[in-house]
Structure formats: structure tokens, C-alpha cells
Amino acid sequence: MQYSTIEKPRLNNQLKLVMIKNQQKGINNHGSFKRENFSLFKYYGLILLFSLIIGCSDQTIQKLEGSAQGTTYHISYWSESPVNGKDIEASIKNELDSIDKTLSNYRSDSTIETFNSTENTDSQEVGNEIVSLIRIARIVHQASQGCYDLSIKPLFELWGFRGDKLTIPSDSSILKTLTRIGMEKLEISDDKHLRKKQADLKVDLSSIAQGYSVEKISRVLEQKGITNYLVEIGGELKTRGHKPGDQAWRIAVERPLPGEQVMQKIITMPKDSAIAIMTSGTYRHYFDDRGQRYSHILDARTGRPVSHDLASVTVILEDPVIADAWSTALLCLGQKDGMKAANAEKIPALFIEQQGKELIESRSDALNALDSLTIH
């Protein structure tokens, strides 16, 4: 992912930086596909608005940024008390390295890939991190009627989403691959062990790992005594507290159309509590083949890309892990079934459908009732 930084004119001693995420990532109209890591199947746009107060406060926002997990991260924080910036940066790097070693589906030596490559039905130790993610994913899997499924990895490979070119599989290939799919084929033995009921089962954590990473980095900051921060990894983000001068963090959700980087909504975050924003969309990453457009979002029930008009879903929850999983699940379901699920599970969600050139917004009941932040 690439970022461009635009400096706007100084007004009232205030310098505003608008960081616009470029989500193009090398996909062209012929179906070629650039390899990514955790963020491979979750694409969306966010514009992060940061205000740096000039001459108004002794506190300044500290910024860390870099590459991790096949994408980029941006962290902003400040503290009223002195903190060791080098220690914080080193702790964040160590945490990101640890997460990568555990959850990455692109490292053959990662814990999850070791589990995937061991084709037997014995109980295997994977650690409490992976087991906790599987527990969350199971809940979302059931609530989404199986549309969301972490065992979908063989289908990604079948369609070529793991390689460099889209391959349209035959109906028989899809049906054969579907026999290898199903969260019900994965058993939790205990807090640290999983067991495959089918030896060739594979697990892909892409749809939940970045939310987990955001939460883990947030915890690192809090352990260092920092309670005012914004953590963003690959577009998934969480904020807590506020900026110097008691100003709220402000986040802008991008207009979900290919080739555009225009603000659709601005979200003013709460200053007295932590909140996460996760957005999934079909509009940035897709394949065009012989006049047919194929979304990168696969429905685990059919083995095929979704074909509805839902362009993006933004989920707002305190827990970024749960929000991450639900944003993918609701996008998979589409607006009608997704809204039904969001209302049933009390998930604050913003849906944006594309009908022709028109974008139609709708909000879940829980989002309409949410008064801790403002969306405009």
C-alpha cells in the first residue's frame, strides 16, 4: 500500500495533514494479481485526518510508520507524561514480528501454516492466540449462515487469488473443492490445541488477523502508559482518547468506487473510550475476464465470488478483532441479508451499495443508536 501526504494551507496556527490510502496494489483489467499478506482479501479505502496543533500545547503527536504483514502501518500517539519513544518503537516491531510468525499464511514456518501443512487428524498445538481467533470466527460463521468461513483457503487457490492470474474453475472443480471447506471440520481441543476432522483442511486468517494486530499494538501502547493513540494497519484502525488540545481523532471513509479517492463520510471518534473502525469493500480489488467482473470476496457456501451490489461495509465496535470478522461477513452476505444479520447481532454497520453510478447508504439499527461518535 502507498500513501500520499497532502499539506493544506495553515489556518489559525493549525496544520492539517490528509493521508490518503492508495489501494491500487497492482491489479489490472486482465486479472493479474499482486501477492499480499494479511490484507489479501480485504480491501477498502480510508482517509485519516490528523490535526497537529502548532504553538498551542507542549504535547506533540509522535508518529511511527513502516511495513508489516504485506501492508503498511501508521501509529500516532501522545502522552502527558514522558515516555521512551525508542522503547515503544522496538516493542511494536517485536509484537508485529511475533504476530507474523504466528498468523501469516505466507510464511511456511508460521504456526498457522505448520498446522495447514500437517495433514492428519491429530490434535495440534497452535497456541491460545489462534484458538481465540477461531472461537470468534466460529460465532461469526454461524451468525452469517456459513458465508464467512476461515477454511476457505483452497477456494482462493482454486480461483487464482493466491497466484498471479485469475483462473475460472469448472463447476466440478468448485464442487470438489467445497468438500474441503467447512468450519465444522475444525475442532477446538482446548485453549491451545486444534484438531482437523478432515486431514486436508486449511485455515486462512487473513480476514481477522489485521484486526487482531491492531488490538495487540494498541495493548503495547497501553502497557507503556499511553492512553491517547490511533493505530492503523492496512486500513484497519482503532483510536483511544484524543489529540492534544482535547481534539477528537477524525477518520474519513473513502467513496467506494474504483479509481476514486474522495471522502464519503467523516467519523469523529469518541474522546472518552476506545473504538475500532473496520471497512471491507469489493470496489478496489476484482478481476475482469471476458466482460465479466469477479469480486475477490468468495461465498464459502457456493464456492464462487459474490455477485451482489454491495460495495463496502464499515463496522464500528470496541473490539477490532470482532469488527474485522464482521465487516467481511456482512460484505459476503450482501445488503439485504447483511443488514438482517447486523440487526440480529446488534452490529453497528454502515452499508454502501452501488447501483449504476449511484451510491446508496443504509445503517443498521445499532449504528443508528450509537451516540458515542458522529458520522457526517
pLDDT (tens, 9 = 90+) of the chain, 376 residues, equals 222 222 222 222 222 222 223 333 332 333 322 233 443 334 334 444 433 333 333 479 999 999 888 889 999 999 999 999 999 999 999 999 999 999 998 899 999 999 999 999 999 999 999 999 999 999 999 999 999 999 999 998 898 876 666 778 999 999 999 999 999 999 999 999 999 999 999 999 999 999 999 999 999 999 999 999 999 998 899 999 999 999 999 988 766 555 555 556 789 999 989 999 999 887 555 565 555 666 778 999 999 998 888 988 999 999 999 999 999 999 999 999 999 999 999 999 999 998 887 889 999 999 999 998 888 8
What is the dihedral sign for C-alpha 220, 222, 226, 227? Answer: positive
pLDDT at 264: 66
The β-bridge relationship of strands 250-254 and 46-53 is antiparallel
208's grid cell: 481477522
**Domain 119-196 grouped into CATH 1.10.3980.10:** yes
pLDDT at 288: 57
Dist. CA 341–CA 293, nearest whole Å = 26
Collect all residues with Cβ–Cβ distance below 8 Å to 92 and sequence separation of at least 6: 64, 75, 217, 220
Do the beta carbons of residue 283 and residue 23 sit within 8 Å? Answer: no
pLDDT at 35: 32
Would you kindly state where each structural domain of the chain is located, as residue ranges?
2-104+206-375, 119-196
Do the beta carbons of residue 69 and residue 39 sit within 8 Å? Answer: yes
Do the beta carbons of residue 256 and residue 283 sit within 8 Å? Answer: yes
**Domain 2-104+206-375 grouped into CATH 3.10.520.10:** yes
CB atoms within 10 A of CB 90: 11
321's grid cell: 478483532
pLDDT at 66: 93
pLDDT at 253: 75
Among residues 41, 53, 48, 99, which one has the least CA distance to residue 75? 48
User: In 192-241, which residue ranges form alpha helices assigned H by DSSP?
Assistant: 206-223
Strand partners, 243: 247
Residue that has been written with the C-alpha cell 469488527 in this structure: 323
pLDDT at 221: 98
Which helix (H) or strand (E) segment holds residue 129: the answer is helix 128-143
Query: In the structure, how many helices (H) and strands (E) does the chain have?
Result: 9, 21
End-to-end CA distance of the chain: give it in Å, rounded: 26
pLDDT at 139: 98
pLDDT at 236: 92
Angle (CA) 22 23 26, round 5°: 110
pLDDT at 358: 85
